[in-house]
Structure 1
Amino acid sequence: MQKSRPILAWETLLDLDADTPGARSSLRDRVERALRRAIDEGRLEPGSALPPSRALAETLGVSRWVVTEAYGQLVAEGVLDARTGSATRVSLGPGTALPRPPAPGPSPSSDAAPPIRYDLRPGIPDLRATPRSRWAAALRNALASLPDHDLAAAHPRGYAPARDAVAAYLSRSRRADPDAARVTITHGATDGMDLLTRELHRRGHRTILVEDPSWPRLRAVAESNGLRPVPVPVDEDGVDTDVLAALSAQTGARAALVTPAHQFPFGAALSPGRREQVIRWARAHRALIIEDDYDAEFRYDRRPIPALQRLAPDHVALIGSLSKSVSPALGLGWMLLPTTISPPISASPPSLVDQAALAHFLTRGDFERHLRTARSRFRHRRARLLDAIRRDLPGLDVTGIAAGMHLVLALPTGTRAAALTSGGAELGLGLTALQRYVTATPRRESLVLGYGNLDDALIEEAVARLALLIRNAAE
Structure 2
Amino acid sequence: MASGQTNPRHRTDPRLAWDTVLDLGADDAPLVARLERAVRDAVHAGRVPAGAALPPSRALAETLGVSRWVVTEVYGQLVAEGFCEARVGSGTRIASGAAAGHGALRPASPTSAHPSSARPARLTAGGPAGRARLDLAPGVPDLRHVPRTAWLRAMRDGLADAPDATLGAPDPAGHPGTREAVAAYLARARSTRAGADDVLVTHGATDGMARLARALRAAGHRALLVEDPSWGRLRDVARDAGLVPVPVAVDAGGVDVDALAAAAARTGARAALVTPAHQFPTGVALAPERRDALVSWARGVDGLVVEDDYDAEFRYDRRPVAALQGHDPGRVALLGSLSKTVSPAFALGWAVLPPRWRERLGPQAGGAAPSTVDQLALTRFLSDGGYERHLRAARGRFRRRRAALLDALAAALPGLAVSGLAAGLHVVLGLPDGVPAAAVVRAAAARDVAVADLRRYRVTAAPQHADVRGEALVVGYGNLADARLDEAVAGLAAAIRSART
Q: TM-score, normalised by structure 1?
A: 0.76
1:282 shift after superposition: 0.7
Q: Which amino acid aligns with 1:345?
A: G
Matches within 5 A, 1:22-421: 116-343=132-359, 344-346=361-363, 347-421=367-441
2:77 corresponds to? none
1:120-167 deviations in Å (ceiling 9; x for gaps): 000000000000000111111122111111111441100000000000
Return the alpha-carbon distance in structure 1 between the equivalents of residues 46 and 494 of structure 2.
Answer: 44
Q: Of 465, 468, 473, which aligns to 2:491?
A: 465
1:193 shift after superposition: 0.2
1:460 shift after superposition: 1.2
- Cα pair distance change 1:410/1:96, threshold 3 Å: closer
2:29 corresponds to? none
1:425 shift after superposition: 1.1
1:119 shift after superposition: 0.2
1:419 shift after superposition: 1.1
For structure 1, which segment, 435-444 or 420-429, has the greater mean C-alpha deviation from structure 2 after superposition? 435-444
The percent identity for this pair of structures is 56
Q: Residues 441 and 452 of structure 2 are in contact (CA less than 8 Å); yes or no, is this contact kept in structure 1?
A: yes
1:436 shift after superposition: 0.7
Q: Which amino acid aligns with 2:471?
A: E
Q: Which amino acid aligns with 2:177?
A: P
Provide structure 1 residue ranges, at least 5 long, that are not aligned to the other structure: 1-91, 99-108
Return the alpha-carbon distance in structure 2 between the equivalents of residues 244 and 94 of structure 1.
Answer: 42
Return the alpha-carbon distance in structure 2 between the equivalents of residues 169 and 154 of structure 1.
Answer: 22
- Cα pair distance change 1:132/1:271, threshold 3 Å: same
1:12 corresponds to? none
Q: Residues 205 and 350 of structure 2 are in contact (CA less than 8 Å); yes or no, is this contact kept in structure 1?
A: yes
Equivalent residue of 2:305, what SS? strand
Question: Would you say 1:432 and 2:477 are equivalent positions?
Answer: no
Provide structure 2 residue ranges, at least 5 long, that are not aligned to the other structure: 1-44, 52-86, 96-128, 464-468
Equivalent residue of 1:409, what SS? strand
1:43 corresponds to? none
Equivalent residue of 2:160, what SS? helix
- Cα pair distance change 1:303/1:93, threshold 3 Å: closer
Q: Which amino acid aligns with 2:344?
A: P
1:330 shift after superposition: 0.3
1:8 corresponds to? none
- Cα pair distance change 1:95/1:225, threshold 3 Å: closer
- Cα pair distance change 1:467/1:97, threshold 3 Å: closer
Return the alpha-carbon distance in structure 2 between the equivalents of residues 152 and 363 of structure 1.
Answer: 23
Q: Of 446, 454, 463, which aligns to 2:480?
A: 454
1:178-222 deviations in Å (ceiling 9; x for gaps): 111010000000000011010000000000000000000000000
2:41 corresponds to? none
Return the alpha-carbon distance in structure 2 between the equivalents of residues 227 and 97 of structure 1.
Answer: 34
1:399 shift after superposition: 1.3
Return the alpha-carbon distance in structure 2 between the equivalents of residues 93 and 352 of structure 1.
Answer: 35
Q: Which amino acid aligns with 1:368?
A: E
Q: Residues 238 and 244 of structure 2 are in contact (CA less than 8 Å); yes or no, is this contact kept in structure 1?
A: yes
1:212-254 deviations in Å (ceiling 9; x for gaps): 0000000000000000000000011100001001011111100
- Cα pair distance change 1:446/1:97, threshold 3 Å: closer
For structure 1, which segment, 403-412 or 420-429, has the greater mean C-alpha deviation from structure 2 after superposition? 420-429
Q: TM-score, normalised by structure 2?
A: 0.72
Q: Residues 443 and 498 of structure 2 are in contact (CA less than 8 Å); yes or no, is this contact kept in structure 1?
A: no
1:7 corresponds to? none
- Spell out structure 1 runs of 4+ moving beyond 3 A: 92-98, 109-115
Q: Which amino acid aligns with 2:482?
A: D
Return the alpha-carbon distance in structure 2 between the equivalents of residues 154 and 161 of structure 1.
Answer: 12
- Cα pair distance change 1:97/1:226, threshold 3 Å: closer
Return the alpha-carbon distance in structure 1 between the equivalents of residues 389 and 288 of structure 2.
Answer: 30
1:85 corresponds to? none
Q: Residues 431 and 472 of structure 2 are in contact (CA less than 8 Å); yes or no, is this contact kept in structure 1?
A: yes
2:42 corresponds to? none
Q: Which amino acid aligns with 1:423?
A: A
For structure 1, which segment, 345-354 or 424-433, has the greater mean C-alpha deviation from structure 2 after superposition? 345-354
Question: Would you say 1:445 and 2:461 are equivalent positions?
Answer: no
1:116 shift after superposition: 1.1
The count of residues paired between Structure 1 and Structure 2 equals 375
Q: Residues 202 and 349 of structure 2 are in contact (CA less than 8 Å); yes or no, is this contact kept in structure 1?
A: yes
Equivalent residue of 1:319, what SS? strand
1:102 corresponds to? none
Return the alpha-carbon distance in structure 1 between the equivalents of residues 151 and 281 of structure 2.
Answer: 29
